[in-house]
Amino acid sequence: MGSGAGSFLKVILKNFDVLAGPVVSLVYPLYASIRAIETKSVVDDQQWLTYWVLYSMITLIELTFAKVIEWIPIWSYAKLILTCWLVIPYFSGAAYVYEHFVRPLFVNPQQTINIWYVPRKKDVFNKSDDILTAAEKYIEENGTEAFEKLIHRADKSRSNIYANTIFDEDYRY
């Protein structure tokens, strides 16, 4: 019986990454996500939403580069360690990766190279691009503070126009 338990332990240790991977990357995050949904705290919601975004990205990378990844012998262990770092709240790995790498790609795309950019055709009736270009040029030349003052003045003059409008109660449309 002793050798049977020993061989069982060897099998578990030899396949630790295969057994622990789903528990660390799916079972515990699923449980924690359900608990986060049931609490009023926004912090735990953000932690687990961030984790699932990163997990999806890792899965997409794995699926895309499967042929290359299968040649890396320590990939399953590296992924397990990375997943532990992302999942365990003590490390806040998911929040760190999101704040420093993922968020800048989506929140501030001007500072990164956008490989998905497709230029729009000029539309005679839609002038929004011209307005945005003019605003960007104004900010570039004068700074954001000057642009904010300009917007504030425009809002102020618009509110003065509405305040000075005389409404005739007898006039009906």
Contacts of 46 (CB under 8 A, 6+ apart): 95
pLDDT means per 10 residues, the chain with 173 residues, are: 70 73 85 90 86 91 92 88 89 85 76 54 53 76 82 68 49 47
Q: Are 53 and 97 in contact (CB under 8 A)?
A: no
| Closest by Cα among 29, 79, 87, 84 to 58 | 79
The pLDDT of residue 113 is 52
The pLDDT of residue 173 is 45
The pLDDT of residue 152 is 77
The pLDDT of residue 146 is 81
Q: How far is CA 55 from CA 26, 30, 62, 86, 92, in A?
A: 9, 12, 10, 9, 14
Q: How far apart, in whole angstroms, are the C-alpha atoms of residue 54 and residue 75? A: 17
pTM: 0.53
The pLDDT of residue 52 is 93
